[in-house]
Structure 1
Amino acid sequence: MGRNSLKDERQKEIIKKYYAVAKKEGLENTSIAKIASEMNVNPSLIIHYFKNKEELTYSLIDYILEKYLVIYNRKKIEDHDLGSFLIELIHKLFKSWNSLFNESVFYSCYALGFRDKLIKMKFKNLQDSLRSHLKEVLDKCNEAGIVNLPSTEKTADLIYIMVDGAYYYLSLISEKEEYEKKLLEYKNYAYQTLGLSID
């Protein structure tokens, strides 16, 4: 048990350093030697925990994708709190998304999915999971009369299409004022889709 715990800790430490190096130098320029140098260890130590860079990259992608689900972390939601929770959730989806990960590393990992079926499946599973989480929240809000949605499944899908499309486009905008203006517009479209009136 102790050994597994130590192994898990060491692997997480290596993955975090991999992420840090990839942020600085780009995923394609990152190597096991550079990660080892960042950690001040011998490359053989990394090979001890990860057979090769491919295995390490799979773990990095898992690490990045797990960050997405943090946005749903919350204790049990009371019925009287559902409305404010939904409003805050949409706000987080359109405000906190890009603070969870580095866009350059994320899109580099995403691009690997076009050549690697396992990576593609990981991203697909994440997207399905995110939609499922949002659908559960919308189901509760529907039952409580906070929203009136014919299909919570289709609405959850549409919200994530908005989120993904918004961040893809916003990643191309350098001007902060324009970025914030567009972000607010997209967030308001999501509120309108849910039939929520925000003052």
Structure 2
Amino acid sequence: MTIKGRREREKEEMRELILSAANDIIASEGLDKVSIRKIARKIEYSPSIIYHYFNDKEEILNNLMQRGYKKIVTAVSSAKVEGDSPKERLIEMTKNYIEAALNMPEEFMAAKLNQSEIALKHTSSLFKGASKEKPALAALYNCLKEIYKDKEIDENTVELTAQMIAVSTLGLIIKLIIEKDIGDKQRQRLIEYFSEEVVLRIVNETGIKSKEV
């Protein structure tokens, strides 16, 4: 390995160390409690060293938020199995989203329940036009568009339906994270019932109303 290559690897390793320390602080204390000084203390370096790798705390948090969001987007996107009907894909997308969130509960809760500007920049999804800007919501929106392709449903209604499904799913995830002792079997029953029954009821209700307009 060349000297340049070794330096790049060392730089990347140091960035990962800093991000890992920040993530540990988020998990134990919350996103609002992260500071350059705390990160430096955790990795046993001076605060000034961290500024060689990141401009400020916001850049560190943005990196972490982007990683967390990417995990969710990957989980949702992985449901795109050729041959499945749109409704089957929707069910699979919902299950994948829930499972991905439950696999990183501390990160998920710290991000989704945080009201800071940094967090909301990544997690906001209820504004009009969110389905065009947020990849995870866009995947849900596009799946709904396929389901409603033969119905006269305007794009705003499709987006609202996607947002309601997303919010409902968030509520279930939060309860599953908080109520840790319900058992694996009951947890799975709840996930399956929600994905296969509740979500499709929301979808079908929008479809029924479209006929009445």
Shift of 1:38: 3.8
> What is residue 141 of structure 2 aligned with on the other side?
135
On the 8 A contact 2:40/2:47 being kept in 1, the answer is yes
On the 8 A contact 1:149/1:155 being kept in 2, the answer is no
1:162 and 2:143 matched: no
> Which amino acid in the other structure matches residue 186 of structure 1?
F
On the 8 A contact 2:125/2:137 being kept in 1, the answer is no
* Residue identity (%): 21
1:153 and 2:189 matched: no
1:81 and 2:93 matched: no
1:16 and 2:24 matched: no
On the 8 A contact 2:21/2:43 being kept in 1, the answer is yes
Q: How many residues align?
A: 186
Q: What is the rounded CA distance, in whole Å, between the counterparts of 1:57 and 1:13 in structure 2?
A: 14
> Which amino acid in the other structure matches residue 121 of structure 1?
K
Q: Return 5+ residue gaps in structure 1 as ranges.
A: none
1:193 and 2:202 matched: yes
Which of 91, 98, 122 is the aligned partner of 1:94?
Answer: 98
On the 8 A contact 1:67/1:100 being kept in 2, the answer is no
> What is residue 46 of structure 1 aligned with on the other side?
50
Q: What is the rounded CA distance, in whole Å, between the counterparts of 1:70 and 1:133 in structure 2?
A: 10
Q: Report the CA distance shift for 1:49/1:88 in structure 2 as closer, same or farther (over 3 A).
A: same
> Which amino acid in the other structure matches residue 165 of structure 2?
I
> Which amino acid in the other structure matches residue 87 of structure 1?
I
Q: What is the rounded CA distance, in whole Å, between the counterparts of 2:158 and 2:47 in structure 1?
A: 49
> Which amino acid in the other structure matches residue 163 of structure 1?
T
1:57 and 2:61 matched: yes
| TM-score (norm. length: structure 1) | 0.67
Q: Return 5+ residue gaps in structure 2 as ranges.
A: 205-213
SS in 2 for 1:111: coil
Q: Report the CA distance shift for 1:111/1:76 in structure 2 as closer, same or farther (over 3 A).
A: closer
Q: What is the rounded CA distance, in whole Å, between the counterparts of 1:74 and 1:61 in structure 2?
A: 20
Q: What is the rounded CA distance, in whole Å, between the counterparts of 1:68 and 1:25 in structure 2?
A: 22
> What is residue 211 of structure 2 aligned with on the other side?
none
> Which amino acid in the other structure matches residue 50 of structure 2?
I
Q: What is the rounded CA distance, in whole Å, between the counterparts of 2:29 and 2:202 in structure 1?
A: 40
What is the RMSD of the two structures over their aligned residues, measured on CA atoms? Answer: 3.8
Which of 162, 165, 182 is the aligned partner of 1:176?
Answer: 182
Shift of 1:89: 1.4
Shift of 1:162: 1.1
Q: Report the CA distance shift for 1:134/1:28 in structure 2 as closer, same or farther (over 3 A).
A: closer
Shift of 1:48: 1.4
> Which amino acid in the other structure matches residue 54 of structure 2?
F
